[in-house]
A and B are shown apart, each in its own frame.
Chain A
Amino acid sequence: MLSPGRLQVHEAGLVGVLFRGAGIIGSFDPHGTFVAPKGAVEADFEEDVVATLRVLGDGQFTLVAPIVETYRRLPGVTDAGAGFGDLQMSARWDVTDAGASVRIPGIAVLATLILPTGVPLEQATHPLSTDSTGTGAVQGGLGLALEQTFGKVLVNVTGSGTLHTARTVHGVRTLLGPSFNAFVALGYSFAAGPVAAITASYTGTLIARTNGVDEPGSARAQLRFALAGGYAFNDSWRMQAAVFGDPPARHFGQNQPAGVGGSAALFRIW
């Protein structure tokens, strides 16, 4: 229930809307030093339409269509923009179910494909590029999730890797390095029905290459913690919500913004 858009056992499909908002509190420089913004303000919002369909019994296919809004303010200039983001498609195959065996955890194979349907940075026209809504590159990834229940407690460990396609902007070819993500969740199911979880997610991206040459200091990293909850009103409707934050401590990030925010989602299930 805590993974937005994920079907539970016996569910055939769902559609829903997810709202997300975050305020940027600073950023990490190439050396992992956190730098607080000096007079700069940024808030990011996103609304996703999510649809998931069960396929072949143990598989799930999810489509996420994002609408992205960004607000930025620097001394003397304020800018806001919005638009359609990068379309996300993901698939999951449950090889074994969590909780079905004391010895064997739930094992799932994951795949993701993100298409550059949003506006990349170089095509933004607003003064602070707030109308940029996408990365401009195709991203594809594979992952493996292990999940096990211990009474009312659920533990999830997921690892994944992502590759990006190169982008050529004004004759300069840039290729982001491969990304790796490690995700851990500890969840608890309350007797009255709600579920809650604390999660930690670390994403690292190796150095980029520009025109075939490595760019030292271009690696990225981000650590994010979250507290999430979910509640099923009945078999047809459930909601999920979370608050998250990127700890502004040295070496917890690299070449990435840091923020705090929250999300809420409502799903109709069949």
Chain B
Amino acid sequence: MVNGRGERWRCRPSCAGVVVLLAALSGCAAGVAPPHLPAGAFPGSDGISHRLEEEARRARFTVIVFFGAGCPVQRAHDPRLLEIAARYRPLGVGMLAVDSEASADVASDRREARSRGYPFPILSDPEGTVADALGATYATYTVVVDADGRVRYRGGLDSDRGHLTSGAFLWLRDALDRLLAGREPDPAATHSLGCVLRRR
């Protein structure tokens, strides 16, 4: 169960035997690099090629949301994404989405951004470079980086899945409020509840 801190036990360190092997196959392996902004430029739905480190330097904080076009959880959260953009961009928070699915391409991402009314671009990342660097495996997984490119929050937008509720824990909003007030997010990491990103 996901609690108010967005924590959910995923794989015990004490797994043994076949369970360890299966857990490793499931991606619960040790020795993964810490999340970081990857180098390189990624084409955006706005017709501009974006470098994430440069994007981060242009804002106090930058929100990076991993996008899944066919994900019902993504679709359900579009209103909240639009609210967050409207609320925090005037406060110096940059925002962009990243499509790290194998089918990502600029034309389809442009159509999606327009149809959803996103005021921020969707970057096309069919090789999954950004997802690998930031540890994203699910759509709506969100990372907040500061101007130096350091990850300050990572995880879900909120505790809702396919249907928005009034009683949801608004993890991203709470993290941004704390960061803008000069404090650390609490929790700083939660669990994303979107669909599995389809990778190559």
Contact = CB atoms under 8 A, between A and B. Distances in A.
Task: Give the size category of B's interface with A.
Answer: 20 to 34
B161 A235 contact: yes
A229 to B, nearest CB: 16
Contact of B200 (A96, A102, A270): A102
B2 interface: yes
A56 B22 CA distance: 10
Contacts of A93: 22
Nearest to B1: A12
Interface string A90-101: 000111111111
Nearest to A237: B163
B198 interface: yes
Given A100-B198, A193-B72, A58 B1 contact: no
Contacts of A232: 162-163
Interface string A35-72: 00000000000000000000011100000000000000
Contacts of A103: 200
Contact of B195 (A9, A12, A152, A234): A9
A57 B10 contact: yes
Interface string A150-193: 01100000000000000000000000000000000000010001
B2 A10 contact: yes
Contacts of A234: 162-163, 165
Interface in B168-200: 191, 193, 195-200
B34 interface: no
B26 A99 contact: no
Which DSSP category, helix, strand, loop or mixed, fits chain A's interface? loop
A14 B25 CA distance: 26
Nearest to B162: A235
Which DSSP category, helix, strand, loop or mixed, fits chain B's interface? loop
A259 interface: no
A95 B195 CA distance: 16
Interface residues of A, number: 28
Contacts, number: 69
B31 interface: no
B109 interface: no
B15 A152 contact: no
Contacts of A101: 198-200
A234 B163 CA distance: 6
Contacts of A109: 22
B28 interface: yes
A117 B161 CA distance: 38
Given A57-B10, A151-B70, 7 more contacts: A9-B138, A57-B28, A95-B25, A100-B137, A100-B197, A101-B200, A193-B72
10 contacts: A10-B191, A56-B11, A56-B12, A58-B11, A58-B28, A93-B22, A99-B196, A101-B198, A151-B70, A234-B165
Interface of A: 9-10, 12-13, 56-58, 93-103, 109, 149, 151-152, 189, 193, 232, 234-235, 270
